Structure 1
Amino acid sequence: MPDTNAPPPAATAYARRLGLFSATMLVVGGIIGSGIFLNPAVVARRAGSAALTLGVWGIGAVVALLGAAIFAELGRRRPQAGGGYAYLRDAFGPLPAFLYGWALLLVISSGAIAAVAMTFAGYASALVGAPPEAQRPIALGAVALLTLVNVVGVAPGAVTQNVFTILKLAALGVLLAAGLFAPVGAPLTASVDAALVPPSDAVGLLRAVGTALVPVLFAFGGWQQTNFVAEELEAPERTLPRALALGVAIVVAVYLLANVAYLRALGVAGLAASSAPAADTIARVAGPAGRTLVAAGIAASTFGFLDLVILVSPRVYQAMARDGLFFGAFARLHPRFRTPVAAIVAQGAWASALLLVGSYGQLLDYVTFADWIFFGLTAASLVVLRRRDAATGAPDTGFRAPFHPWSVVAFCVAAAYVVLGSVLSDPGNAVRGALILALGVPAFLFWRRRGLRATNGITRMKV
């Protein structure tokens, strides 16, 4: 096992070109996709009242802030490319770390790229009047373009991310102004129709909160992706905690205000009945032109999210290869661009293949629960790494997650709830997702054996 705390040699080092602003935009862009434009309707249906709807979003905000604090300390302790992969490896060994990277490339990131590219293409084609059959070519073109942008350097990818994160925040700012301040003729109300009944007892309350919390937690997920590019941040021990704190705080404020705006404009019954709450809210003020604005906002939001996933995820595959657990070509950085070109291109090619066969949505459903298993395991790694680092006697300065270890316990409970809810709601998908993970075990054994043989000088196979 290599010395995981030592920096990589200069010949393979990333270029540290991301400052606090770009890192914060990565955090914001990694969380805000299309969910806040659509998911609040699902939450309102499950919660049944305005107060409970806002309360559930508040719980999600607390979980997000706890998670950001945990990942901020992890990033400060292990400011390495790969983020969660590095933390899992150092805390629990190479197998769970490999399975995380395996699932990321095979399904989680590549499937998200395919799904989000199609969402972007749907809104973009509607904006320009393109026919439905143009959506897949538009999606493929977006993946190819952003793959190329991120091949030629982290700076172009970050600039793209900054621009589109600002655009999505601007679109949300217009939405907030319309919903919070414009006359809409419908005051904030907790009234319900016959199909929307708030819980009347403790059991019903717990059930409503539990079911409504799942889409909220998914909407708040994504802050961890900035940790993947820790080796490209300026002074990551300081920049990463600050970026996570600022980015998650911005998202929490936007999400809570957006839900107040939806409820003021539509009422809880109207929100629960809406299939597009952001568009319906803007339409109350600006008419059909407002729907076009929301479509443009969602297109910008999804394009920015697409850029982020294409930018950060290959750093995980590069870290795996650097440890001898993946294709050797993935470990190499371009001598000029300082990017893992092979890993970026391979991810783009696989995501494009998923787009062509159209199975990405189903694959994502299979591993939804696995994503949150790794979320919980990564948070738990902080307990292990704190103890291990303390045993070395080295000074422990810098950011520390508050309320440790109870903050870790609370976050792991939330992650376990999402996993359990996913399994109970669709056990078939959970079994299929477990099989995808299980396929990673023989792959790990193959790469592990291959790496050991190369280390011992028995063979030097190159791929």
Structure 2
Amino acid sequence: MSAPAANEAKASSDGSYSRRVGLFSGVMLVIGGIIGSGIFLNPAIVAQRVHTPGLTLGAWLLGGGVALIGAFIYGELGQRIPKAGGSYVYLRDAFGELPAFLNAWGLLLMIATGAIAAVAVTFANYTLAWTGLPTDYRLPLAIGAIVLLSGINYFGVRPGALTQNVFTVLKLVALAVLVGAGLLLTGAAPVQTVASEPPDSIVLALGAALVPVLFSYGGWQQTNFVAEELVEPERNLPRALLLGVIGVVGVYLLANLTYLRTLGAGGLAASSAPAADALGRLLGPAGRTFITAGVALSTFGFLNLVILVSPRVYQAMAADGLFFPWMARLHPRHHTPAAAIVFQAAWAILLTGTGTYGELLDYVVFADWLVFGATAATLFVYRAREKRGQAPRVSYRVPGHPLTPLLFIAAALYVVVGSTASNPLNALKGTLLLGAGVPVFLYWRRRREGLAKAPASQASVVGGP
């Protein structure tokens, strides 16, 4: 029996996750988790802060270097613990249950679910602009996308991964057309609406530009959430992370080169929709229509990715006895966290309908990179355990350790501090919302301990057979 077939048989017999995601699908998950709508919009913000073409490309190259270090870090962590849940598992094992729970709590309450709502509405907006449908269709289209993709992922990781593959390829095709047109066609001379002069302080300007750049590069870590469903995760997860991040860095640099070649640094800084403006100048109205469709497809693929991976974190939390027991159960046939997928969809739809997702996401824009930095710090714990003989030595190792992880942690802290300084009130609200998870954690831990101490007959009645 082949290794994948053996894994399938094991999954069917013990009710665990089934390994159905190969290397190609893993790479598509990484790329799809990074590329959303950011590369179509954020380059204008970067150009506004650094002014010149060289510094614009330099900012994206520097951010790509940070993302690549992150891929190395998550690759080693994934090889050490190839379990579903990603950062939740690493934080729990290295620093204890509370920080891990707060990570999962934040994802469920607002980060993942708020992103699902926001991206679904973004998908609806671009779809309406693409098709010419009336704005009354916005909310039904957004909710319909959440329901459809949640349903696909309910029935197995393979349908979800195949959906991801299709829409990741489509978004790459859209970007390839953008880049190809920009580099091969000789359109009108770039528009210079803002003087393209170096900023007064290059260091400060690059630092400010790194915030939107790093947010655009975020997302590679989500593939670790489904590590338990990858075929040969110890080998394929690090490969998928590196190949995916390197591919995205190349795409991002080429896209920005296209924007600069077509619009110029000043025109890029003044643009509210760089991709549409660039392709519109090169191909006319048809180019704008094409890129609008491309953004719609890109956001749909990103939406699928978040819906696919995030329930694995909630399931891991519940399996530890820190959330509703039914959230820990996997579907007996599909081997998916079916209850967690349904719960996530219901909460995301509620956020979509009430329109509260925007505020929630504004409150926690710093949280992703806070988790990135904390997760990178777990690597030092695992390396120390390895030296003491308390953990096995792994073959895949972060190059340049400990300097490279320290640089990554510094970059993460910079984003957190920068986001907090830009809106202290929102950061305070986000911190309070995350802090609200502490009493929730204490409740579930106390309940778990109570069940553990209860007589067997009572525990059977309370907890079920």
What residue number does 1:440 align with?
Answer: 437
Q: Is the 8 A contact 1:237 1:398 kept in 2?
A: no
Aligned equivalents of 1:272, 1:394: Cα separation in 2 = 50
Q: Is the 8 A contact 2:20 2:230 kept in 1?
A: yes
* Range moving further from structure 2, 292-301 or 384-393: 384-393
Deviations 1:107-129 (A, max 9, x none): 00000000000000001122222
**2:69 corresponds to which letter in structure 1?**
L
Deviations 1:63-119 (A, max 9, x none): 000000000000000100000000000110000000000000000000000000000
In the TM superposition, what is the alpha-carbon distance from 1:198 to its structure 2 partner? Answer: 2.4
**1:84 corresponds to which letter in structure 2?**
S
**1:291 corresponds to which letter in structure 2?**
R
**1:372 corresponds to which letter in structure 2?**
W
Aligned equivalents of 2:110, 2:302: Cα separation in 1 = 16
Q: Matched residue of 2:252: which SS?
A: helix
Aligned equivalents of 1:395, 1:29: Cα separation in 2 = 32
Alignment of 1:70-85 (within 5 A): 70-85=73-88
Alignment of 1:301-312 (within 5 A): 301-312=298-309
Unaligned runs of 5+ in 1: 1-6
Alignment of 1:170-181 (within 5 A): 170-181=173-184
Q: Is the 8 A contact 1:147 1:345 kept in 2?
A: yes
Compared CA separation, residues 136 and 240, structure 1 to 2 (3 A): same
Deviations 1:34-91 (A, max 9, x none): 0001110110001111111111111101000000000000000010000000000011
Aligned Cα root-mean-square deviation (Å): 1.6
* 2:198 equivalent to 1:198: yes
What residue number does 2:4 align with?
Answer: none
Deviations 1:355-374 (A, max 9, x none): 01001011001011122111
* 2:171 equivalent to 1:152: no
In the TM superposition, what is the alpha-carbon distance from 1:443 to its structure 2 partner? Answer: 0.4
Q: Is the 8 A contact 1:48 1:192 kept in 2?
A: no
What residue number does 1:3 align with?
Answer: none
In the TM superposition, what is the alpha-carbon distance from 1:212 to its structure 2 partner? Answer: 0.8
Deviations 1:105-161 (A, max 9, x none): 000000000000000000112222211121011000000000100000000000000
* Range moving further from structure 2, 270-279 or 9-18: 9-18
Alignment of 1:297-376 (within 5 A): 297-376=294-373
Aligned equivalents of 2:219, 2:166: Cα separation in 1 = 18
* Range moving further from structure 2, 385-394 or 408-417: 385-394
The match for 1:242 among 229, 236, 239 is 239
What residue number does 2:419 align with?
Answer: 422
In the TM superposition, what is the alpha-carbon distance from 1:186 to its structure 2 partner? Answer: 2.2
Q: Matched residue of 2:364: which SS?
A: helix
* Range moving further from structure 2, 157-166 or 361-370: 361-370
* 2:132 equivalent to 1:129: yes
Deviations 1:10-48 (A, max 9, x none): 533100000000000000000000000111011000111
In the TM superposition, what is the alpha-carbon distance from 1:431 to its structure 2 partner? Answer: 0.3
Q: Is the 8 A contact 2:226 2:309 kept in 1?
A: yes
What residue number does 2:222 align with?
Answer: 225
* Range moving further from structure 2, 122-131 or 339-348: 122-131
Aligned equivalents of 2:358, 2:219: Cα separation in 1 = 18
In the TM superposition, what is the alpha-carbon distance from 1:9 to its structure 2 partner? Answer: 11
What residue number does 2:291 align with?
Answer: 294
**2:109 corresponds to which letter in structure 1?**
L
The match for 1:183 among 179, 183, 186 is 186
Alignment of 1:266-285 (within 5 A): 266-285=263-282
What residue number does 2:7 align with?
Answer: none
Q: How many residues align?
A: 451
Alignment of 1:137-148 (within 5 A): 137-148=140-151
Deviations 1:330-358 (A, max 9, x none): 11001100001110000000000000100
Q: Is the 8 A contact 1:83 1:225 kept in 2?
A: yes
What residue number does 1:4 align with?
Answer: none
Q: Is the 8 A contact 2:194 2:270 kept in 1?
A: no
Q: Matched residue of 2:290: which SS?
A: helix
What residue number does 1:209 align with?
Answer: 206
In the TM superposition, what is the alpha-carbon distance from 1:392 to its structure 2 partner? Answer: 2.5
Q: Matched residue of 2:327: which SS?
A: helix
Aligned equivalents of 1:262, 1:238: Cα separation in 2 = 37
Q: Is the 8 A contact 2:11 2:18 kept in 1?
A: no
In the TM superposition, what is the alpha-carbon distance from 1:211 to its structure 2 partner? Answer: 1.1
The match for 1:28 among 31, 47, 62 is 31
**1:311 corresponds to which letter in structure 2?**
L
Aligned equivalents of 1:382, 1:185: Cα separation in 2 = 51
Aligned equivalents of 1:452, 1:328: Cα separation in 2 = 14
In the TM superposition, what is the alpha-carbon distance from 1:207 to its structure 2 partner? Answer: 1.8
Compared CA separation, residues 390 and 12, structure 1 to 2 (3 A): farther
What residue number does 1:105 align with?
Answer: 108
In the TM superposition, what is the alpha-carbon distance from 1:206 to its structure 2 partner? Answer: 2.0
Aligned equivalents of 1:25, 1:339: Cα separation in 2 = 20
Q: Matched residue of 2:179: which SS?
A: helix
* Range moving further from structure 2, 101-110 or 393-402: 393-402
In the TM superposition, what is the alpha-carbon distance from 1:389 to its structure 2 partner? Answer: 3.0
Q: Is the 8 A contact 2:194 2:269 kept in 1?
A: no
Q: Matched residue of 1:335: which SS?
A: coil
Q: Is the 8 A contact 1:49 1:192 kept in 2?
A: no
* 2:70 equivalent to 1:67: yes
Aligned equivalents of 1:243, 1:432: Cα separation in 2 = 36
Aligned equivalents of 2:165, 2:395: Cα separation in 1 = 27
Q: Is the 8 A contact 2:68 2:245 kept in 1?
A: yes
Compared CA separation, residues 239 and 393, structure 1 to 2 (3 A): same
Q: Matched residue of 1:96: which SS?
A: helix
